[in-house]
Amino acid sequence: MSGTLRTGLGAVSRGVALFFGCFSLANAVGALLGSSAENIWWIDMGFFPGWLTVPLGVVIAALLVAYAVLPVMRRVRRWMTCGGALLLAGGGLVNSLGFWRAWDAGTIDPLTPVPFSAVLFVVFVLLALGMSRRVRTADSGRSRLGALVVALVLALAFPLAQVLFFGTTDYRRPAEAVVVLGAKAWPDGRLSTSLEDRVQTAVELYQQGTVSILVMSGATGAEGIDESVAMRDRAVQLGVPAEAIVLDHDGVNTDSTVANTTQIFRQRNIESVLVVSQFYHLPRIKMAYRAAGVNVLTVPAASSLPIPGTPVFVLREVPGFWVYWARGLARGVV
């Protein structure tokens, strides 16, 4: 193997370790300090005893970060680090088997047959193999820069992976209510394509008997139309009785929708909730409700027509994901 190729592979290996090590370490330390963290986006190591899961996560994450910073390792640390990567790979495999069992049982309906945890399984097996090779000389500035670039690329790709794998998976199951988040309504009361798809998906859930209450959350837009009223009117046209619909007129954004609807849940003693929006929006919605102490299940809106601007909406979720993740972590700690 040429020196250039070896340096390149080493930079990739260290960049992967740096990103996942830092992400896992933040979640684990947050959990130690009382935060729920966002481990739903990570590997669930719940097959270990509860008292061991978080400390083990801290140790493995620290080993990964240490490898990224100091790749020259003595034998003991090298094999401990490889072992930690293999444990994460094992967690990814167990999680993947759980995904396929849930799919077979009909409790989830994914777009992709391969879960994100299976991707992580492959990543950590390859990472363990790479780390098992002894590094004899100190790294160069070029290698360190390459590792940092790889970590930054992963920071951009990770939210996109959540949109692809989590956002497109339908978690519908019997619940008391479904929340429909608002979007543009036209001056004549017609719904935009994205909002029409959301409302029709919620109506389908009602007509299937999956939910008995529809919570329409929106605000009055620039067109002067109250989105929540337009959503209710459309749902009534589609056959939902008006008395089964609850309106939140002040859902100006995701945060306000979460704050307002959680109050509705408490007032009506609603404990099981589904949420409908476009697939790219769902990871951020899930995090916002988790930060508010509510565990919702997400249902991607059916797509009737291509929505202009979807690539831009997807890319917008990259910073959105990290902002909501950091806020959830901070709220639990503080």
The residue segments making up the domain with residue 266 are 177-307
Separation CA 318–CA 290 (nearest Å):
18
pLDDT digits (tens, 9 = 90+) for 168-184: 999 999 999 999 999 99
57 touches 27 (CB < 8 A) = yes
Separation CA 180–CA 38 (nearest Å):
23
Are 150 and 191 in a shared domain?
no
The pLDDT assigned to 105 comes to 97
What number is the average pLDDT over the span 159-171? 97
Number of domains in the chain: 2
Are 7 and 152 in a shared domain?
yes
By residue count, the chain amounts to 334
- Res 311 pLDDT > 90: yes
116 touches 165 (CB < 8 A) = yes
Q: End of a domain among 147, 167, 187? A: 167
The pLDDT assigned to 286 comes to 95
Q: End of a domain among 134, 167, 200? A: 167
CA angle 292, 25, 171 (to 5 degrees): 45
What number is the average pLDDT over the span 120-135? 90
pTM over 0.75: yes
Of the candidates 283, 318, 329, 282, the residue with the CA atom closest to the CA atom of residue 24: 329
CB within 8 Å of 248: residues ≥ 6 apart: 215, 216, 217, 218, 228, 257, 260, 261, 264
Q: Which residue has the higher pLDDT, 289 or 53?
A: 289
Q: Mean pLDDT of all residues in the chain? A: 91
pLDDT digits (tens, 9 = 90+) for 29-50: 877 776 655 567 888 887 888 7
The pLDDT assigned to 254 comes to 95
203 touches 301 (CB < 8 A) = no
The pLDDT assigned to 140 comes to 63
Are 182 and 148 in a shared domain?
no
Separation CA 68–CA 245 (nearest Å):
53
Are 193 and 247 in a shared domain?
yes
Handedness of CA 10, 15, 18, 24 (dihedral sign): negative
- 231 in a domain, yes or no? yes
Q: Which amino acid is at 100?
A: W
217 touches 260 (CB < 8 A) = yes
The pLDDT assigned to 224 comes to 85
Q: Which residue has the higher pLDDT, 245 or 290?
A: 245
Q: End of a domain among 100, 132, 167? A: 167
CATH code where residue 280 lies: 3.40.50.620
The pLDDT assigned to 334 comes to 46
pLDDT digits (tens, 9 = 90+) for 54-101: 889 899 999 999 999 999 899 999 999 999 999 999 999 999 999 999
Q: Poorest-confidence range of 51-60, 189-198, 287-296? A: 51-60
**Which residues are registered as beta bridge partners of 220?**
226
CB within 8 Å of 45: residues ≥ 6 apart: 53, 56, 57, 87, 91
Are 181 and 159 in a shared domain?
no
- Res 198 pLDDT > 50: yes
- 155 in a domain, yes or no? yes
- Res 321 pLDDT > 60: yes
- 203 in a domain, yes or no? yes
Q: Which residue has the higher pLDDT, 263 or 332?
A: 263
199 touches 234 (CB < 8 A) = yes
